[in-house]
Structure formats: C-alpha cells, structure tokens
C-alpha cells in the first residue's frame, strides 16, 4: 500500500528572546493553566506547535436528511462504550494525519465508514484504508479550504470511494485522478442519517454509538487547539472559537460525562491521537449536524457483484 511521507524543516532565527508567536503562546498558556488549576478542570496542557487544519463548513443545509432510528427509552444504555475495546477487540482504524489541509470533513466521514466496515464484517483484525484524497479531489464536498462531511457521506453513498493506495493522500488540492482500476474496487456506504442537527442530544448520540462510531462536528476553542495534551477537555474562561472541526466519536463514559473522540492530527497529538471532551458544553453535533453512517456495501474486485454488508 502506498503511503506519503511529509518532511518539515523549521528554521528559527533568534535576535534575542523567543519568537513573538511562541512568546504569545507561552504567556497565554500560563493563563490557561491558572484557570485549569483554579477551576479544577480535568485536563493537562502542552504547546501544540505543529498546527493542523480545521475546515468544517456549516453554511449549507445538511445533505443527510434521514433521522436515525431512536433508541427505546425503556431500554437502559450501558454506562460506557469504547469501540477501540469491545470485548477486547478494536474496531477503529489507525489515527491518520490531515496535516495543514482543512480536510477534517473527509477524515471524519472516512474514519466512520472504515470502522463500520470492520464492525459489520466482524473483522477487528483488518484495517481498511479508504481514500480521503478522493473526497477532497473528486466529491465536490470540499477541498483543503474546508468542506461538508454530510456531503462527503452522500458522495460515498452514491459513488463509493476507492482505497488509499488508489489515490494516496497528499494534503493538497490535486486534480481528480484515482488509479485506473478505481471503479472496480470501491466501497460504498449503504446509508447515513442524522442524530441531531442543532442541540447536543446526549441520549440520542449514546444510542447511535451502540451500533458504531458517529461522525460529528464540534466547535474548536483556542485553548484546546493550542494546548490540549490529555484528560477531559472543558473550555477555560476567555477561550474563543477558532472554527469548526469534524471528528469521530468512538465512545462515551457516564462516570466522567464525556465523549471519547478520534481526531485526524496524527497519533502523536493528544491521547495517542484521541481526546476526551465533556458533553453538553462544546457544540458537539452543533450547527454542522451529526452524521451517523448506518452501513456499507462492498463492491467486488470484478466490479460486477455487489455484496451487501450493511444494516437491515
């Protein structure tokens, strides 16, 4: 399988003291840490010097119009779930890195589809790797300046998506040029539906997570973006919104009232590429909606036979 390597060369010239941006970050970090200690907030900080893209856009009507099935209110939900460890089995694919390209919307949609494939095939031992670059270059759902993960899911439902090796990620706006056999090796989602579009409905999201991970939007505050290291994020006073981000919720924990979330900023960021965030405080679901991928179809190598592996 093809992969792409990125090399970063950082040269800093000192004329005395720290560069202005670093000095500002360190001064702001002192304030954030004081607030964390004062309010006894359950997260730790570091300076995230390597900036990653955001890029979720929210000014269109959601492409996903179907409401996800409601969980029976008479049936108790488990106190916790984590699709990285379901009875000792990991149904989540490895954390990827979008780098500076604002393609979080593509990684959110792809990450959810990959996990649903593993769940419905019951193959935690396999890690399907689908092409985010195809969504960036071919779907019309967005580009490196931002996009819509609902429209990305709609594209996968209608057209499918090729594997990573067929159109490898470049973190740039390439022309649409997947490999020649792309039409023969596509994976298509069966359907997708929204869980909540405006308000964060904790019970509805938890119910959706019983079937598999959920692709979601979130508001990004500067304290989380610049300083999150580990723990359960709760924004500090004075934090300001930097933009919107698309991620994948892989679980929750009632004991700490938090979501467990897969990011797309590489495995070295946060908690091995993941973070935890207190629910009902940070726009999870929010104005960009919450998309729930219901199932997948997988097209055979011959490009003729379609095998249904989605939910009935």
Nearest one of 122, 88, 89 to 296, comparing CA atoms:
122
Write out the two tokens for 199.
Answer: 């308000």
Please, are residues 309 and 117 in contact by the beta-carbon 8 Å criterion? yes
Using CB atoms within 10 Å of the CB of residue 120, give its burial: 0 to 12 exposed, 13 to 18 middle, 19+ buried: buried
| Residue 143 designated active-site | no
Q: What is the DSSP string of 61-94?
A: --S--PBPPPPPTTSPPPSEEETTSBTTB--SPP
| Helix (DSSP H) and strand (DSSP E) numbers for the chain | 6, 12
Instruction: Please state, as a whole number, how many other Cβ atoms lie within 10 Å of the Cβ of residue 184.
Output: 15
Beta carbons of 32 and 43 less than 8 angstroms apart: no
How many whole angstroms from its chain centre is CA 259? 13
Is residue 291 classed exposed, middle or buried when 0-12, 13-18 and 19+ CB atoms within 10 A define those classes?
buried
245 catalytic per annotation: yes
Is 263 assigned a catalytic role?
yes
What the block records as the tokens of 56 is: 């979720």
> How large is the angle between the packed helices 104-121 and 149-158, nearest 10 degrees?
50
Active site residue: 149, 226, 245, 282, which one?
Answer: 245
Question: Of these residues, 143, 226, 263, 291, which one is catalytic?
Answer: 263
| Cβ contacts of 152 within 8 Å, gap of 6 or more | 105, 106, 108, 109, 110, 135, 139, 141, 142
The one catalytic residue among 104, 166, 192, 196? 104
Q: Which residues are the active-site residues?
A: 104, 245, 263
């Amino acid at each position: 399988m093809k992969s792409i390597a990125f090399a970063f060369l950082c040269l800093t010239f000192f004329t005395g003291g720290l560069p202005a941006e670093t000095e500002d970050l360190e001064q702001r970090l002192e304030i954030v840490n004081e607030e964390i200690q004062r309010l006894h907030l359950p997260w730790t900080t570091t300076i995230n010097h390597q900036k990653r893209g955001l890029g979720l856009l929210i000014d269109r009507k959601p492409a996903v119009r179907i409401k996800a099935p409601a969980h029976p209110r008479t049936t108790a939900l488990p106190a916790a779930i984590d699709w990285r460890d379901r009875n000792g089995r990991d149904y989540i694919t490895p954390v990827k890195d979008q780098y500076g390209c604002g393609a979080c919307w593509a990684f959110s949609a792809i990450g959810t589809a990959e996990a649903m494939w593993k769940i419905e095939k019951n193959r935690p031992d396999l890690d399907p790797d689908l092409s985010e670059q195809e969504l960036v270059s071919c779907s019309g759902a967005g580009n490196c300046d931002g996009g819509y993960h609902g429209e990305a899911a709609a594209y996968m439902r209608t057209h499918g998506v090729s594997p990573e090796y067929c159109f490898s990620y470049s973190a740039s706006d390439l022309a649409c040029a997947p490999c020649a056999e792309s039409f023969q090796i596509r994976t298509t989602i069966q359907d997708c539906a929204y869980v909540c579009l405006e308000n964060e409905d904790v019970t509805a999201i938890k119910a959706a997570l019983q079937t598999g991970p959920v692709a979601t939007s979130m508001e990004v505050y500067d304290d989380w973006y610049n300083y999150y290291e580990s723990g359960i994020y709760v924004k500090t006073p004075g934090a300001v919104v930097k933009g919107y981000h698309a991620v994948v919720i892989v679980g929750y924990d009632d004991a700490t009232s938090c979501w467990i979330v897969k990011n797309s900023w590489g495995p070295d960021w946060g908690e091995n590429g993941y973070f935890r965030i207190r629910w009902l405080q940070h726009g999870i679901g929010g104005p960009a909606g919450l998309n729930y991928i219901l199932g997948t179809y997988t097209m055979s190598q011959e490009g003729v036979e379609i095998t249904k592996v989605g939910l009935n």
